[in-house]
Chain A
Amino acid sequence: EPEVTQTPSHQVTQMGQEVILRCVPISNHLYFYWYRQILGQKVEFLVSFYNNEISEKSEIFDDQFSVERPDGSNFTLKIRSTKLEDSAMYFCASNGGTNEKLFFGSGTQLSVL
């Protein structure tokens, strides 16, 4: 079965540093998402992306966050200046239509020290 892949699986960074989390969505999917889960809490929506632009974002997704689809396969999440509270598991997801199930990657555990 096709899958969403995310790299790296773990990322440790110093506060204030920039990080880029990478994702390869399923190849024929059109909608891309980033979610995050702080340890033991709910899976929170960050942003959705369609047709090379952000279609919706949450209040968490402030000016420090950005997303990009630099080529036909990758989908990235950049955090410009990380904060301690950005420490979480970040999940990329994709689907082929707005009312279809989401396929999730296995996540990137981001630790900000």
Chain B
Amino acid sequence: EDQVTQSPEALRLQEGESSSLNCSYTVSGLRGLFWYRQDPGKGPEFLFTLYSAGEEKEKERLKATLTKKESFLHITAPKPEDSATYLCAVPPGSSNTGKLIFGQGTTLQVKP
């Protein structure tokens, strides 16, 4: 069964304290792993897509990496404005209809 699991559920950091969020996935024939950011009361916003093991993408203080079983979202020297819920998602292996299977999300709080 296709599955996405994120950890931890919640993470509290001090401003400047770097850390990583984990996304483990089980899917046959990975056709992309997506990271989204969701602010309270808003819809998810796209951050990155990774397609193959070893691939890395960066955006400001965020860097996403991918292995054959998991993806990490590294946050370097975070600021309070990085506080949000981060979601990862994969397309199911059996479908090519654009659907995504989402993890439960990691809620990040960065304190000044």
- Same complex origin of A and B: no
On B, residues with C-beta under 8 Å from A are none
